[in-house]
Amino acid sequence: MGRFFKLPLLLLVLLIPLAGCSTMQGNSQESSTNTLSSVQQRGELILGTSGTMAPMTMTDSSGKPTGFDVDLARLMADVMEVKLTVKTIPFPELIPALQKGEVDLVISNMTITPKRNMQVAFVGPYLKSGKCIITKDENIARATQSDNINRPETRMVALKGSTSEDFIKTLLPYATLNTVDDVDSGVQMVIDGKAGGMLTDYPICLSALMSHPDDGFVSLFSLLTYEPIGIALPANDPQFINWTENFLLRLNGTNTLQALGRRWLGIGVSVEE
- 175 and 53 inside one domain: no
pLDDT digits (tens, 9 = 90+) for 2-38: 544 444 434 334 334 444 343 334 444 445 779 999 9
Q: What pLDDT shows up at residue 145?
A: 55
Q: What is the pLDDT of residue 203?
A: 83
pLDDT tier at 147, thresholds 50, 70, 90: low
What mean pLDDT comes out for the span 124-135?
87
Q: Is residue 48 part of a domain?
A: yes
How confident is the model over 77-93, as pLDDT tens digits? 999 999 999 999 999 99
Long-range contacts of 189-193 (CB under 8 A, 24+ apart): 189/157, 190/134, 190/135, 190/136, 190/157, 190/217, 191/136, 191/215, 191/216, 193/136
Kindly state whether residue 218 falls inside one of the protein's structural domains.
yes
DSSP 27: P
CATH of residue 102: 3.40.190.10
Do 177 and 251 fall within a single domain?
no
pLDDT at residue 265 greater than cutoff 90: no
Average pLDDT over every residue of 238-255 = 95
pLDDT of amino acid 146: 58
- The count of domains in the chain is 2
Is 270 inside any structural domain?
A: no
Same-domain pairing of 141 and 187? yes
147 with 79, same domain? no
Residue 41's pLDDT band (cuts 50, 70, 90): very high
122 and 202 share one domain: no
Whether residues 139 and 95 fall in one domain: no
The pLDDT > 90 percentage for the chain reads 55
Q: What is the rounded CA–CA span in Å between residue 245 and residue 21?
A: 24
Do 217 and 156 sit in the same domain of this protein? yes
For residues 238 and 199, membership in a common domain is answered with no
Instruction: Report yes or no on 88 lying in a domain.
Output: yes
- Residue 271 belongs to a domain: no
pLDDT in tens, 172-199: 899 999 999 988 899 999 999 999 999 9
Do 163 and 46 share a domain, yes or no? no
In a domain, 67, yes or no: yes
- Alpha helices, H only, the chain: 35-42, 68-80, 94-99, 114-117, 138-141, 163-171, 183-191, 202-211, 238-253, 256-264
Q: Report how far Cα 239 is from the mean position of its chain's Cα atoms.
A: 25
Query: How far is it, in rounded angstroms, from Cα 124 to Cα 240?
Result: 13
pTM: 0.75
Q: Is 97 inside any structural domain?
A: yes
Is 29 among the domain residues? Answer: no
pLDDT at position 174 = 93
Regarding whether 123 and 233 lie in a shared domain, the answer is yes
Which structural domain range is residue 260 located in? 35-127+229-264
pLDDT on residue 210? 79
Domain co-membership, 93 together with 204: no
Average pLDDT, the chain: 84
pLDDT at 269: 66
| Whether 143 contacts 166, CB under 8 Å | no
pLDDT > 70 fraction of the chain, expressed in percent and rounded = 81
Residues 60 and 136 in one domain: no
Q: How many residues are there in the chain?
A: 273
